[in-house]
């Protein structure tokens, strides 16, 4: 009997991009959720033909050199000229400008969007009115199942395609396609790490239960108090909002703690200036020091132009945004240098999460204790009064 195929040596070497499942000619690979809520490929040995395409396509198992930026790489600070778009974007609205271009060419855009239960999936859109669902940062790992095959189908039909995702998702798509397509524009995002969809789901369920109403909209980075301030905001079905409670901010605290990131994130091979996309997008942190006149606290995108295709597209975009050339040294983005460090005690966190549950862990690890709840109440009251006093002044 043939030896079984092992897709990865450890969970630290699998990013969950779905390239292996997508390329399998026997449909022997399915994505299954582990106890932390992350999807990993599993092989049905009865269906497996041992062709090893799954191993060949894996970007984590192919060499990806940690190189210095290529000599033609250019860095820009970018602001969309449409203030409404910039207001509804996480940073400067560069993604929206790229998406608009693709849609105007009769193409399609792939990105991450929530479903009605706030589960995150990569989706395909073909109309401008659908674009709002893709705007804004979403700090969870999106489900990619079936997406790579759809991208290949669109390219085969001659459609312009914009694909945006984390660098491991972009790397997975490149490995799956196996060749460059002139009509395909790849855009990777500077990524801090992907938190557990399970923890996110429990966060949403717990928040809705405690408030006694459903969430209608969730913003990971609302600009209600400016771009420089990280403000999460949940808007509920009755129009009420929460942007300061200890329970709301508990997910953000877990995200920054590192306890809930995917194991592969701690040794991510893509946290360097050598990028997988034609263009790279992120927040231009440090713009207030690098270019003070360019910063108005409404959001500035960092755009890294990595390839000749990226340069050509960027050159077409100057009518859509304001741009100022910069350099790597001015960009205060740690994930262009190193992955997020694995925190001491991560294993114990997950032991306690499985045994004691979500509420216990946000009390212990994320500030959702009595002190945190009182602090959140005082903070939310002060913010509410400040916000409404400004509205009266306006």
Clarify whether residues 233 and 295 are in a common domain: no
Burial class (CB in 10 A: 0-12, 13-18, 19+), 188: buried
pLDDT value of residue 368 = 84
Clarify whether residues 211 and 99 are in a common domain: no
Picking from 337, 269, 275, 283, the residue whose alpha carbon sits closest to that of residue 306 is 275
Q: Last residue of a domain, which of 336, 365, 380? A: 336
- 380 has a pLDDT exceeding 50: no
Q: Is residue 318 part of a domain?
A: yes
Looking at residue 26, the DSSP 8-state letter turns out to be T
Clarify whether residues 369 and 267 are in a common domain: no
Clarify whether residues 96 and 240 are in a common domain: no
pLDDT value of residue 360 = 96
pLDDT range class, residue 59, cuts 50, 70, 90: confident
**C-alpha dihedral, 116 to 121 to 127 to 132, nearest 10°:** 60
Task: Quick: pLDDT tens for 153-189.
Answer: 999 999 999 999 999 999 999 999 999 999 999 999 9
Average pLDDT over residues 185-196: 96
Question: How far, in Å, are 15, 16, 245, 380 from residue 117 at the CA level?
Answer: 24, 21, 21, 26
pLDDT value of residue 70 = 67
Clarify whether residues 148 and 204 are in a common domain: no
- 394 has a pLDDT exceeding 60: no
pTM score, whole prediction? 0.91
Q: Is residue 272 part of a domain?
A: yes
Instruction: Starting at the earlier edge strand, list the strands of the sheet with 231-236.
Output: 215-222, 231-236, 241-242
Helix, strand, coil fractions of the chain, as percent rounded to 5: 40, 20, 40
- What integer best gives the mean pLDDT of the chain? 89
- 244 has a pLDDT exceeding 70: yes
- 338 has a pLDDT exceeding 50: yes
Residues facing residue 121 across a β-bridge = 113, 143
- 24 has a pLDDT exceeding 50: yes
Clarify whether residues 30 and 93 are in a common domain: no
pLDDT range class, residue 370, cuts 50, 70, 90: very low
CATH code for the domain of 24: 3.30.70
Q: Is residue 294 part of a domain?
A: yes
Question: How far, in Å, are 178, 224, 238, 243 from residue 387 at the CA level?
Answer: 52, 9, 19, 12
Clarify whether residues 111 and 167 are in a common domain: yes
Residues facing residue 161 across a β-bridge = 108, 184
Clarify whether residues 189 and 202 are in a common domain: no
The C-alpha atoms of residue 353 and residue 346 are separated, in whole angstroms, by 10
Clarify whether residues 114 and 132 are in a common domain: yes
Q: Last residue of a domain, which of 306, 336, 366? A: 336
List of residues 6+ apart from 385 with CB closer than 8 A: none
Q: Is 171 helix (H, G, I), strand (E, B) or coil?
A: helix
Clarify whether residues 47 and 98 are in a common domain: no
Question: How far, in Å, are 101, 135, 182, 268, 334 from residue 282 at the CA level?
Answer: 19, 13, 24, 17, 11
Q: What is the DSSP string of 254-323?
A: HHHHTTTB-GGGGG-TT-SSS-SSSEEEEE-TTHHHH-GGG--SS--EEEEE-SHHHHHHHHHTTTTEEE
Residue the block writes with tokens 């994130």: 265
Clarify whether residues 165 and 216 are in a common domain: no
Q: Is residue 111 part of a domain?
A: yes
316 or 374, greater pLDDT: 316
Q: What's the number of domains the chain is made of?
A: 3
The C-alpha atoms of residue 110 and residue 132 are separated, in whole angstroms, by 13
Q: Is residue 5 part of a domain?
A: no
382 or 191, greater pLDDT: 191
Task: Quick: pLDDT tens for 60-105.
Answer: 776 554 545 567 899 999 999 999 999 999 999 999 999 999 999 9
Task: Quick: pLDDT tens for 127-149.
Answer: 999 999 999 999 999 999 999 99
pLDDT value of residue 156 = 97
- 375 has a pLDDT exceeding 60: no
The C-alpha atoms of residue 112 and residue 110 are separated, in whole angstroms, by 7
Clarify whether residues 42 and 123 are in a common domain: no
Q: Which domain holds residue 25?
A: 11-57
């Amino acid at each position: 009997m043939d030896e079984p195929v092992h897709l990865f040596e450890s969970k630290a070497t699998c990013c969950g991009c779905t390239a292996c499942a997508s390329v399998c000619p026997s449909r022997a690979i399915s994505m299954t959720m582990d106890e932390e809520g992350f999807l990993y490929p599993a092989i049905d040995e009865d269906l497996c033909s041992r062709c090893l395409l799954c191993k060949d396509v894996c970007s984590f198992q192919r060499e990806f050199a940690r190189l210095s930026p290529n000599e033609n790489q250019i860095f820009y600070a970018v602001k969309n000229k449409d203030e409404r778009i910039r207001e509804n974007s996480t940073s400067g609205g560069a993604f929206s400008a790229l998406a608009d271009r693709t849609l105007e060419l009769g193409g399609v855009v792939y990105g991450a969007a929530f479903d009605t239960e706030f589960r995150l999936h990569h989706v395909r859109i073909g109309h401008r009115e659908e674009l709002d669902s893709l705007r804004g940062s979403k700090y969870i790992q999106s489900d990619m199942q079936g997406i790579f095959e759809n991208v290949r189908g669109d390219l085969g039909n001659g459609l312009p395609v914009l694909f945006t995702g984390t660098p491991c998702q972009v790397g997975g798509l490149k490995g799956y396609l196996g060749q460059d397509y002139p009509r395909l524009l790849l855009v990777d995002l500077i990524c801090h790490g992907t938190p557990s969809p399970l923890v996110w789901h429990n966060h949403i369920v717990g928040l809705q239960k405690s408030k006694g109403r459903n969430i209608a909209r969730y913003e990971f980075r609302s600009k209600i108090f400016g771009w420089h301030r990280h403000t999460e905001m949940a808007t509920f079905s009755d129009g009420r909002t929460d942007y300061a409670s200890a329970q709301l901010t508990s997910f953000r605290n877990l995200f920054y703690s590192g306890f809930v990131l995917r194991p592969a994130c701690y040794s991510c091979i893509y946290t360097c200036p050598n990028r997988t996309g034609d263009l790279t997008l992120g927040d231009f942190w440090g713009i207030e020091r690098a270019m003070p006149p360019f910063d108005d606290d409404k959001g500035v995108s960092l755009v890294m132009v990595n390839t000749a295709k990226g340069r050509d597209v960027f050159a077409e975009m100057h009518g859509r945004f304001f741009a100022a050339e910069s350099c790597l040294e001015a960009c205060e983005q740690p994930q262009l240098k190193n992955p997020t460090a694995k925190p001491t005690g991560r294993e114990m966190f997950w032991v306690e999460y499985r045994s004691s549950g979500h509420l216990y862990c946000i009390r212990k690890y994320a500030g959702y204790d009595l002190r945190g709840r009182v602090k959140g109440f005082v903070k939310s009251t002060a913010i509410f009064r400040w916000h409404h006093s400004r509205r009266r002044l306006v």
